[in-house]
Structures are given as structure tokens and as C-alpha cells.
């Protein structure tokens, strides 16, 4: 899809051709029984989930193979004959792993090494042990959709004292929503909603008997709740509850990214102001500020990201050439004198000091481990990133621009 948009942006194809290709790109036909929606997660934040009930095992397996091969993973719900589906998938390809959860009746088919991004947190509570299968369905779906799930089970109102400590722990995790699964009279979601300041999603289960059994009483109880902030899905609908919570996670993530982007943009603008050069292609500066660990983490999440390493090599070469040029102009006569002064100017401490003065540290994109170690304050990281920025200036503006910037930064004339 991105390549189609790039071709349109370059004028290689017209709007009608781009529209046609985008439509074809979004649909994959599986034999004569299915048309899978490849780009659903881009539009809605939720991937296509394969509902196994009503489909043959071969149909389910074929759809899962197609989706996982295209997107990296496929999620199947309401699985009846897991072993047959697993055998079919493994018989067709060795490139996919099959993870069956017997409690939730779900299967996750994914490419080997595929990792799900789990950043934003949600809470998950099950009233009783009998409600766990529906809760587990919600958990699996939410995790596949990118949520980190903080869960606690068997804390229903028959022993309400069991709820206090786990609920406090969930709230302290800064969750965006709490899914509460309950059968019988279905009172627990109302109780939780009355105690927390985040949205609660109630899931009635078909646990119960007699008049109002099979989830009817639980559903009606939740719908009649006087606790504000409680939304309710259908009976046993763990998938529905999880996808609602997942959309809240998507919104939280987008807001966080906007804030970080704003901060990063401010940082980049500061760097440009301090250097005295405004990049024509901001992506070049962005790459110069991207550490290898950060880029690797993004690629593991199937997001394209290039790191600064080649820019550092280029920047080091440009810096050496410019410094020699400037030192000769400043009156250095011998090779030994030029070498000695150049080595002094290229010292890690010198480059790190300039990088710190430019405000580079605040804008470096670090890997998770580097962030914990506050690597953006380390002299070697600042020095390496400064060299990458010099390489970026050379690529964006040419040698003369790089020379002018280096002259100003090193106070050499």
C-alpha cells in the first residue's frame, strides 16, 4: 500500500490507477470460499479475526495460512477441532507456528520469530473460575491487538473482599480500560465501575441455570446497572470486549506518539537552530538520530526503520576531511601538526560536548535497554550521534554546507 502511494506521489500513476491498485491490494481471495480483508488493521486498528464456527477445518486452516503469510499472524476464535487445523497448517508450511489455547478455544498462527507489540495496558477480571474461558478469549484477542493484559481471576461478589487488592494493582498499572467477565447475576462489572475512573466493559457469560440462566440474568443486570462508565457486550463475547479495549489502546498509543512526535520535532528544530541549518529532508535528520537498538526493535514489530550507523561512518569521513581543510587554512604547516590538532578536535569528549550543546541528547531515539541506562547522556552515544548528524548534513546539503556547519561548531576560520 505504501509503495502504491509513493508511486502516486512521484506521479508515476494517476489517481484512478492508484485507487484500483489499492482496492486490489486490500483483498485476498482464498479459493472459492473466502475473501480476506488484509488492510483491516490499518483502517480500524483491529486485525481480521477468523471465526471457526460454521467453517470446515480445512477452510479455517487455509484462511489462517493466507492471513499469517501476508500479515505475520492470524487469530482463530471458537475453535472446535484444534489438532486437525494444526495438522493442516503444519502440513502446508513449516514457516508458521501454531499456538493453541484450549481454555479460550483460540489458535494463533504466526511466522517464526514474530512478536506482538504490547505497550498500552488493560485490566481483565473474571468473577468465577467458570468465567475464565471467556476471559481467556478476551485476553488472547487483546494481546494480539497490541494490549498488555493485567489479569486477576476468581474475585466475584460471593467473596467481595478478594477484589480489593487485585483491583488496586490493576488501577495502579495505569490501564486504559478494565474488562470484567461475570455470569450468574452478573453484578461484578457494576461494582468495579463504581470504584474506578476508567471505562469498564462488562461481559456476561452463559454460566447460570434456571430462570434467567445461560447469561440472560447477567446481561440484563449489566444493562440495568446504575454505575456510570459501564459498557456491555453480548453474552460470552470476549472478542467484542477485547476489541473495544484494544481500540482504546490504539487511541492512547496514537496520543502518546503525537506527544512524542511533538517533543521530537521540537528537539529537531532546536538542533537545526543550533547548527544553523534547516534540513530539506527531515527524514535524513531523523535517521541520524536513530540508534541501532531502536531500529531493531521497530523492525521486530514489522515496522520499517533505518538506523544511524552508515551515517556515522559517512560523518566521520566528512568531519576528518573538513577538519584537515580548515586546519590547513588556519595556518598549520606540517603533517604532524595537522594530525595532532585533528586528533584533539576529534576526541570523544570534544564531539560529545558539541552534541550536548546542540541538544542532540534529548532527541536521540534509543532502544528500551538504552533508555533504562540513560544512554543519551553517555559521551560515546552523543559523539557517535553527532558524527551521524554531520553525515546527514552532507547528504542533505552537500560538502560546502557540511563544511560551513563544522566551521561554526568548532569555531574554526
Which residues are catalytically annotated? 316, 387
Q: What is the largest CA-CA distance in the chain?
A: 101
Give the CA-trace dihedral at 268, 270, 276, 278, to 10 degrees: 30
Q: How many CB atoms lie within 10 A of CB 78?
A: 18
Q: What are phi and psi of 93, to 5 degrees?
A: -155, 150
Output the CA angle 23-47-207, nearest 5 degrees.
140
Q: How many CB atoms lie within 10 A of CB 295?
A: 20
Instruction: Kindly give the interhelix angle for 399-410 and 238-275, rounded to the nearest 10 degrees.
Output: 70
Q: How many CB atoms lie within 10 A of CB 175?
A: 25
Specify the 3-state DSSP secondary structure of 111.
Answer: strand
Closest by CA position to 156, among listed 140, 173, 180: 180
Q: d(Cα 195, Cα 180) in Å, to the nearest integer?
A: 13
Q: Which three cell numbers stand for residue 25?
A: 491490494
Q: How many CB atoms lie within 10 A of CB 109?
A: 29
Q: d(Cα 306, Cα 287) in Å, to the nearest integer?
A: 6
User: Which residues are within 8 A (CB) of 302 and not within 5 positions of it... i.e. 6 or more apart?
Assistant: 72, 114
236-261 exposure pattern, b = at least 16 Cβ within 10 A, e = fewer = bbbbbbbbbbbbbbbebbeeeeeeee
Q: d(Cα 41, Cα 75) in Å, to the nearest integer?
A: 13
Q: d(Cα 327, Cα 345) in Å, to the nearest integer?
A: 10
Q: Which three cell numbers stand for residue 199?
A: 471505562
3-state secondary structure 239-269: HHHHHHHHHHHHHHHHHHHHHHHHHHHHHHH
Specify the 3-state DSSP secondary structure of 77.
Answer: strand
Amino acid at each position: 500500500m505504501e509503495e502504491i502511494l509513493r508511486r502516486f506521489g512521484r506521479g508515476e500513476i494517476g489517481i484512478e490507477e492508484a485507487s484500483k491498485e489499492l482496492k486490489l491490494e486490500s483483498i485476498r481471495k482464498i479459493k472459492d470460499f473466502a475473501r480476506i480483508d488484509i488492510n483491516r488493521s490499518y483502517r480500524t486498528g483491529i486485525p481480521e479475526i477468523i471465526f471457526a464456527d460454521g467453517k470446515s477445518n480445512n477452510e479455517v486452516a487455509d484462511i489462517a495460512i493466507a492471513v499469517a503469510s501476508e500479515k505475520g499472524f492470524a487469530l482463530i476464535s471458537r475453535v472446535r477441532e484444534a489438532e486437525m487445523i494444526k495438522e493442516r497448517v503444519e502440513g502446508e508450511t513449516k514457516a508458521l507456528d501454531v499456538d493453541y489455547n484450549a481454555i479460550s478455544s483460540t489458535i494463533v498462527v504466526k511466522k517464526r520469530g514474530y512478536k506482538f507489540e504490547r505497550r498500552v495496558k488493560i485490566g481483565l477480571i473474571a468473577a468465577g473460575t467458570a468465567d475464565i474461558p471467556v476471559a481467556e478469549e478476551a485476553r488472547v484477542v487483546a494481546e494480539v491487538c497490541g494490549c498488555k493484559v493485567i489479569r486477576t481471576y476468581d474475585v466475584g461478589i460471593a467473596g467481595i473482599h478478594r477484589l480489593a487488592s487485585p483491583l488496586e494493582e490493576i488501577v495502579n498499572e495505569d490501564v486504559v480500560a478494565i474488562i470484567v467477565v461475570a455470569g450468574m447475576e452478573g453484578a461484578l462489572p457494576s461494582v468495579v465501575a463504581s470504584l474506578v475512573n476508567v471505562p469498564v466493559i462488562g461481559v456476561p457469560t452463559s454460566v447460570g441455570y434456571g430462570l434467567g440462566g445461560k447469561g440472560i440474568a447477567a446481561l440484563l443486570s449489566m444493562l440495568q446497572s446504575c454505575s456510570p462508565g459501564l459498557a456491555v457486550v453480548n453474552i460470552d463475547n470476549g472478542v467484542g470486549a477485547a476489541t473495544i479495549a484494544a481500540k482504546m489502546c490504539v487511541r492512547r498509543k496514537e496520543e502518546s506518539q503525537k506527544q512524542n512526535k511533538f517533543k521530537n520535532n521540537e528537539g529537531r528544530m532546536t538542533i537545526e537552530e543550533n547548527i544553523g541549518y534547516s534540513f530539506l529532508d527531515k527524514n535524513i535528520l531523523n535517521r541520524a538520530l536513530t540508534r541501532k537498538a531502536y531500529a531493531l526493535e521497530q523492525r521486530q514489530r514489522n515496522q520499517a526503520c533505518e538506523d544511524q550507523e552508515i551515517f556515522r561512518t559517512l560523518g566521520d569521513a566528512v568531519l576528518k576531511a573538513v577538519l584537515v581543510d580548515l586546519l590547513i587554512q588556519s595556518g598549520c604547516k606540517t603533517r604532524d601538526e595537522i594530525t595532532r590538532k585533528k586528533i584533539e578536535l576529534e576526541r570523544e569528549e570534544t564531539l560529545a560536548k558539541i552534541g550536548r550543546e546542540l541538544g542532540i541528547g534529548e532527541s536521540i531515539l534509543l532502544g528500551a535497554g538504552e533508555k533504562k541506562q540513560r544512554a543519551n547522556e553517555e559521551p560515546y552515544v552523543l559523539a557517535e550521534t553527532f558524527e551521524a548528524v554531520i553525515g546527514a548534513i552532507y547528504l542533505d546539503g552537500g560538502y560546502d554546507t557540511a563544511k560551513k556547519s563544522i566551521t561554526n561548531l568548532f569555531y574554526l576560520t
